[in-house]
Amino acid sequence: MKKTVLLDKKIGQTPLEAIELWKAHHPNYANVAASYAGRLDPMASGKLLVLLGEECKRQQEYIGLDKTYEIEVLLDVGSDTGDILGIVTRSPQETMLTRSDIKRILGEEVGTHTRPYPIYSSKTVAGKPLFLYALEGTLDTIEIPMHEETIHSIRYRGSSPYSTRKLKQRIASLLALAPTSDQPSKALGADFRIEAVKKSWQEVFEHDRPYRILKLKVACGSGTYMRALAGRIGETLGSKALALSIRRTKIVGI
């Protein structure tokens, strides 16, 4: 019996759905306990490490492994989740960047920093995940917990211009893959607020203008949020930014 399996989670798939699909194709594991080590957001894709049987008891050892991501950062549009599956707002002006700007901004992110957990995350406070406080509008009743994030390196892999039309087409195709959820704990943000998210994107697209996407390769420690990184890049530029795509390409040691 395998102790671990490395799956390729698709965009819009939850980790549990990825595991269930793998088990459906491997019926001899149908009744074997399985857990994932290092979750991926619904709109992220890539390497998902699944532990099987007794190996599930070693989950904490695997969660701490370093990882590598390839991400696209959309400039001048931000969201409350840090990715495309959030309520978005646009910056009124186009950000102009030089290579020296990019080198400086990315250099500031490298190293170990103490960061707040994203408000739309599953980190619990008093037994309740942060995203529920965010949806309820009760974040002011708690203190957002902090954690350490380590980024070993960020490699700039170029940028691409995007017209409003091209961006609109891509966002539509991605949001069509967004998962739905009937879990009681997620009832407040039913189906990831998809109708409200789509409406906010439509408001962005009412203004025809050019956009730019940065392509980055990030090597980092466990627990580093790529959508939070994208948002910080926007803030450093005095604008907004979000993660248009996130793909985990490597789990070090696996």
- Is residue 173 scored above 60 in pLDDT? yes
> Are 61 and 3 within 8 A, CB to CB?
no
pLDDT for 188:
63
Residue 151, both tokens: 């980024």
pLDDT for 180:
76
Q: In angstroms, rounded to a whole number, what is the distance separating the alpha carbons of residues 36 and 56? A: 8
> Are 80 and 233 within 8 A, CB to CB?
no
- Is residue 181 scored above 80 in pLDDT? no
The pairing of strands 128-129 and 4-9 is: unpaired
Residue 195, both tokens: 């109708």
pLDDT digits (tens, 9 = 90+) for 128-172: 999 999 999 999 999 999 999 999 999 999 999 999 999 999 999
So which residues are the catalytic ones? 41
Residue type, 233: I
pLDDT for 125:
97
Q: At what angle do helices 164-175 and 194-205 cross, to 10 degrees?
A: 170
> Are 192 and 56 within 8 A, CB to CB?
no
Q: Which of 91-100, 224-233, 240-249 has the lowest mean pLDDT?
A: 91-100
Strand partners, 79: 88
pLDDT for 179:
83
- Domains of the chain, residue spans: 4-63, 67-251
Q: In angstroms, rounded to a whole number, what is the distance separating the alpha carbons of residues 109 and 150? A: 9
Pick the CATH number of 67-251 from 3.30.2350.10, 3.40.50.300, 3.40.50.10860, 1.10.1200.10: 3.30.2350.10
pLDDT for 55:
97
pLDDT digits (tens, 9 = 90+) for 76-112: 999 999 999 999 999 998 999 999 999 999 999 999 9
Place of tokens 């170029």: 158
